[in-house]
Amino acid sequence: MFGTVVVGVGIAGLARIRDLMNPLPSSPSEHLKLFGFVSRRSFGNINEAKQISLEEALRSKEIHAAFISTENRSHEETIRMFLEAGKHVLVEYPMALSAKAAHELWEMAEQKDKILHVEHIELLTEEYKQLKKEVAGKDLVKGTLHFTGYVLDENKAGFPAFSGIARLTWLVDLFGDLTVTSATREKQKDKNYSRMTVHFQTANK
């Protein structure tokens, strides 16, 4: 069995705990054993999973991998700690708040001979796979992607573009590398409203 720990118990972390405690029959998750979860808040137990300290998770020889589901801003530091401790890491996107930090983490994982995987579950859904089939072999002339969400705490989530990074990953996966040609941001503090508009170009313009 491959020992794991979940770090962070927001929506994603709770889903990880649930799935690790109740793996689908014949799925790879059946070979994973959840040794506990780490959180700054005090919970005790969640669905029979016990809360352990960060230090215990880093020291434990029974824990081989960490699932990181904390706020965006803390991803980089948490990844570094677990790689230094010799653990494999799965982290919810984004891996870090800068490309420079992300490249450093990839290099660190390679040096430690550990897997560092950024999870983007939407790319594995049947709906997305169908979309990819529909655009295969076609040239993108022009398109618009619009999505809405709640206003994020920038201190924890990072610059607003990070709230849309999942959709940007869609576009790169579907159409290849993109270049930002312009970006604007509109804020209405009295209405707690923010909008970012970004224009991209594909490699063939």
Complete domains list, the chain, with CATH: 2-119 (3.40.50.720), 134-202 (3.30.360.10)
d(CA 84, CA 43): 27
d(CA 152, CA 71): 11
* Segment 33-81, tens digit of pLDDT: 999 999 999 988 888 899 999 999 999 999 999 999 998 889 999 999 9
Q: Tokens 């996966």 sit at which residue?
A: 173
Written as six digits, the tokens of 14 are 């709770």
Residue 27 has pLDDT above 90, yes or no: no
pTM: 0.77
**H or E element, residue 67:** strand 65-68
> How confident is the model at residue 163, as a pLDDT?
67
> How confident is the model at residue 139, as a pLDDT?
84
The identity of residue 91, as a single letter, is: V
Mean pLDDT of 171-195: 90
> How confident is the model at residue 61, as a pLDDT?
96
Cβ contacts of 175-179, under 8 Å, gap ≥ 24: 175/135, 175/140, 175/202, 176/202, 176/203, 177/202, 177/203, 178/202, 179/203
- Mean pLDDT for all residues in the chain: 90
> How confident is the model at residue 9, as a pLDDT?
92
| Three-point CA angle 66, 67, 69, nearest 5° | 135
Confidence of residue 145 (pLDDT cuts 50, 70, 90): confident
Q: Coil, strand or helix: which one is 20?
A: helix
Mean pLDDT of 183-200: 89
> How confident is the model at residue 156, as a pLDDT?
72
CA dihedral 93→94→100→102, nearest 10 degrees, is: -20
* Segment 103-139, tens digit of pLDDT: 999 999 999 999 999 988 788 889 999 999 999 988 8
